[in-house]
Amino acid sequence: MLKYTHVEDLTTADVERLRSLYEPLTRAVRDLIDATIRTEADAEAVTAATAQIDAATASLRSSQLDGAFGVRYVTDGDPMPWGNAVIGVRNPSAPPLVIRKVSDGPASTDRYVTSDFYLGAAFEGPPGHVHGGVSAMLLDHVLGDAVSTPGVHRLTGTITVRYRRLTPLGRLHAEARITHTDGFKTYATGHIADADGITVEAEGVFIEPRWARA
C-alpha cells in the first residue's frame, strides 16, 4: 500500500509561500541542466562551475528529507506531487507538465485533459527530436491524469504507444480522455502533437488498486 503523506499543519498560504521559495530554485536547476548539455565553455570554466554546483548542493543537503519527496496532502489544499518526474514543481528533471482539465459535457467521457509544454535538449533521443521513451513517459502521465479524480488514484495497467512520426524538440501539445470504464478498469486514449498534427498516440487501461476500492 502506498503512503500518501498528510501534512496537517500547512495552510494554503504556507503552500504558496513554499512554492514561491522552491520554484525559482527548480527553474534555476532546470536551466543548469540545459546549459550542462550544451556548454562549450573551456575546461577551466567547466571545472569552476562544477565546484560551484557542489557547494550549492552541500548547502541544500544541510537539512533534507530522508528519502524521495512523496505525495503530500494538506488539510485545505490540493495534493502536492512536487517531486513527480513529470509534473513536479520541485523536480528539475520534469518538463514540468501543467495539465488543464476541460469538460465539454456531463459524462465522464466528456472530460479531457490538455497540456502545452516545451521540450528542450534534456529530452533528446534521435538528433533534434524527442526521445521516444520521453513521449511514452508523458503520455502515461497525461492518460493517467485523464482517468483520475480527486481521491481516486488509478495506476497504469497496460499502455500502448504508437509512433506515427518523429516528434521535434520544441513546443508541443498533449491531450487525453477516457473512452470507457468497465468496473475498476478505466480506458483512456491520447496523443502528442506538434504544429503539424499528431506525432505519437497512446491507449491505456488504468486500474484502481485493490486497497483503494474500499
Q: In terms of CB distance, is 31 or 110 closer to a second copy?
A: 31
Q: Does 146 bind a second copy (CB under 8 A)?
A: no
Q: In terms of CB distance, is 67 or 106 closer to a second copy?
A: 67
C-alpha cell at 151: 481521491
Q: Does 28 bind a second copy (CB under 8 A)?
A: yes
Helix or strand (DSSP H, E) at 169: none
Q: Does 127 bind a second copy (CB under 8 A)?
A: yes
Indicate left, alpha or beta for 52 from its phi (over 0: left) and psi (-120 to 50: alpha): alpha
Applying CB under 8 A, which part among 104-112, 131-139, 178-186, 191-199 lies near a second copy? 131-139
Please check whether residue 202 is in contact with residue 159, taking contact to mean a CB–CB distance below 8 angstroms: yes
Nearest distance, CB of residue 106 and a second copy, angstroms: 29
Which residues lie below 8 Å from residue 41, measured CB to CB, with a gap of 6+? 49
Identity of residue 184: F
Nearest distance, CB of residue 115 and a second copy, angstroms: 13
Applying CB under 8 A, which part among 110-118, 137-145, 181-189, 190-198 lies near a second copy? 137-145
C-alpha dihedral (39, 43, 48, 51), degrees to nearest 10: 90
One residue of 47, 75, 103, 149 binding a second copy per CB under 8 A: 47
CA distance linking residue 154 with residue 156, whole number of Å: 7
Q: In terms of CB distance, is 12 or 50 closer to a second copy?
A: 50
For residue 207, CA distances in Å to 4, 148, 178 come to 18, 10, 13
Q: Does 179 bind a second copy (CB under 8 A)?
A: no
One residue of 6, 14, 16, 57 binding a second copy per CB under 8 A: 57
CA distance linking residue 198 with residue 177, whole number of Å: 15
One residue of 6, 14, 38, 118 binding a second copy per CB under 8 A: 38
Three-class SS state of 154: coil
Q: Does 46 bind a second copy (CB under 8 A)?
A: yes
Q: In terms of CB distance, is 77 or 132 closer to a second copy?
A: 132
Q: In terms of CB distance, is 143 or 178 closer to a second copy?
A: 143
Residues from 58 through 117 that contact a second copy (CB under 8 A): 59-65, 67-71, 82-86, 88, 90-93
Vertex 23: Cα angle to 21 and 29 (nearest 5): 115
